[in-house]
Amino acid sequence: MTHLWVRAEQRENEDRVGLTPAGAKALLDKGFAVTVEESPSRAIAIDRYRDAGCAIAPVNSWPSAPHDAIIFGLKELPEDGTALRHRHIMFGHAFKGQFSGLALLRRFKAGGGTLYDLEYLVDEDGRRVAAFGYWAGYAGAAVTLKTWAAQQQGQICGPVGTYVGKDALLADLAKDLGDIKRPRAIVIGALGRVGTGASDLCEAMGITVTKWDMDETASGGPFPKILEHEIFLNCILARPGTPVFVPPAALNAARALSAIGDVACDPDSDYNPVPIYQEATTWAAPAFRAHNDPVLDVMAIDNLPSLLPAESSEDFAAQLLPSLLTLDNLQAGVWGRASATFETHVKEVSL
């Protein structure tokens, strides 16, 4: 019997989940076993999973789960160095040269486990089957606008938190912006899910958006047009061949640009297209001041969809469910491709 074990997220400010009670019921109806850990923060109450027929386990009990259980979470595991013997579904951030990813791959190699990275679950045409992109872009644009609004008051953006829904987020943002003349924004990756979410948020707040995608960046740069906008939202994942959009030289350049939202947020990748900061920002300190005169702040929170956990969870879970329903055949389809990607990278790791 295929056994899916939904673990509690152990990262602070992470309320999302990748499986809804309705999705769990669909898995159970197919004959799967589904265990869901209790969680003090999950956006969906544990009683709803219990009512759907799931087994309920104590919070963070997944290390003692049966060896054949498939452990499903979203964000990273505690960095405690323990060997990983299970098969895990999660965002591993381990296949693009990330420094922390090497340690994770070593843990899998030591324990004999497998990583099915959610970023690398792709169909036969190489397109991702599920992504939080839209809500990452939406929330990322919102926090970047909050960053810009704080600048207008001579401040740096203060802490952010979760919202019960997008209407509450929009109301809060409208209060921050008040009657200030709206900035100009440029979105790179505007045709993708992330860029669409970022553009929609900006337009909902009355902001004019310049929308760029692959055609506009094919030259490889430099891109002085970016510096003519007050806000730049990067919605393109770092990968080999990605141009540098804002180089260090731009810090001292004449520019209107004062707030960058690096929604893709891959600062420890060798392919970071915004190489003016070195680590992600946080909910407690959303903006990093990269330069003082003229001011330039970078927003680079790496779990942005959790600002809207209910909506982003429902959306992502609906996209992923058809693939979860094929977990009983891990050698084929999206799971076979994800396993092959993992094996390619893990064999290059030495213990």
For the question of residue 67 being annotated catalytic, the response is no
Evaluate if residue 168 carries a pLDDT over 90: yes
88 classed as catalytic: no
Catalytic, out of 25, 30, 67, 75: 75
Task: Please tell me the predicted confidence (pLDDT) of residue 338.
Answer: 98
Q: What does DSSP assign to residue 141?
A: H
pLDDT in the model for residue 350:
83
Active-site option among 93, 166, 229, 345: 93
Where along the chain do its domains lie?
3-120+309-346, 133-307
Segment 263-305, tens digit of pLDDT: 999 888 888 999 999 999 999 999 999 999 999 999 999 999 9
pLDDT at position 270 is 85
Q: Can you give the pLDDT at residue 178?
A: 96
Per-residue DSSP letters for 188-231? ETTTSHHHHHHHHHHHHTT--EEEE-HHHHTT----GGGGGSSE
Mean pLDDT of the chain: 96
The more confident residue out of 266 and 220 is 220
Most confident of 97-111, 137-151, 234-248: 137-151
pLDDT at residue 96, as a whole number: 77
Two domains, one topology: 3-120+309-346 and 133-307: yes
Task: Give pLDDT tens digits for 234-263.
Answer: 999 888 899 999 999 999 999 999 999 999
The pTM for the full model equals: 0.87
Backbone region of residue 206 per phi and psi (left: phi > 0; alpha: psi in -120 to 50; beta: other values): left
Domain 3-120+309-346 bears CATH identifier 3.30.450.20: no
pLDDT band at 32 (very low <50, low <70, confident <90, very high): very high
The predicted pLDDT at position 317 comes to: 98
The partner residues of 211 in beta bridges, in order of sequence, read: 187
pLDDT value, residue 351: 78
First vs last Cα of the chain: how many Å apart? Answer: 33
Fold of 133-307: Rossmann fold (3.40.50)
b (16+ CB within 10 A) / e for 120-142: bbeeeeeeebbbbbbbbbbbbbb
